[in-house]
A and B are shown apart, each in its own frame.
Chain A
């Protein structure tokens, strides 16, 4: 069975400060992990994905995430927040026999203050 938990429903940061969005997962298989972003009234866009290669994954717009198997975590970070980063972020796990059944986390809404 697979599950994914995003530990914060809302995160608020000031522009120029670091961003940390937390995600824990559970999977009976070697998971593929993704972070997607959804801006208001726009579709979901892939930020980055982990597929059992390097544990530190770099994505678009300066985001990166580190896969930590011992902690079953896949936290998303960015050194310096920009106003345009305000959006909802989803951590996603997929994998398993018979193809991928994708599980989305509940989402974390990121607010960026000027």
Chain B
């Protein structure tokens, strides 16, 4: 099976712009989670989707949003970009919604905000 894919791999934006990142989970996986990784804050949970419903959300402002489509593909959007949003954004998929399910991570999208 193909792994988790994320597009684009690299992005450069300026402050105030918005950005949309895409994640395609492993075939058959119905849960998708998003994380932000920065040198200062480490890996932080953004949100989790299962069957097109957001089930959990981390402590991020409303500028960060996401959605999941019927084919389990997911997008996250960041509006009104700030310099501090520069980070590696990781997507992970799992088969179900159990805490025991293994999450498989994509390579990430490196976002740079200038």
Interface check B15, CB cutoff 8 A: no
Cβ-neighbour of A98 out of B4, B55, B92 (below 8 A): B55
Q: Is the interface of A mostly helix, strand, loop or mixed?
A: loop
* B67: min CB distance to chain A, Å: 17
Cβ-neighbour of B102 out of A49, A90, A98 (below 8 A): A49
New A-B pairs, 13, CB < 8 Å, besides A99-B50, A99-B99: A31-B99, A32-B100, A51-B100, A94-B99, A96-B99, A99-B97, A100-B98, A101-B45, A102-B45, A102-B103, A104-B45, A105-B42, A107-B42
| 8 A Cβ contacts from B82-98 to A | 90, 92, 97-98
User: Given the complex, which residues of A lie within 8 Å of B99, measured CB to CB?
Assistant: 31-32, 94-96, 99-100
- Distance, CA A94 to CA B92, complexed state (A): 14
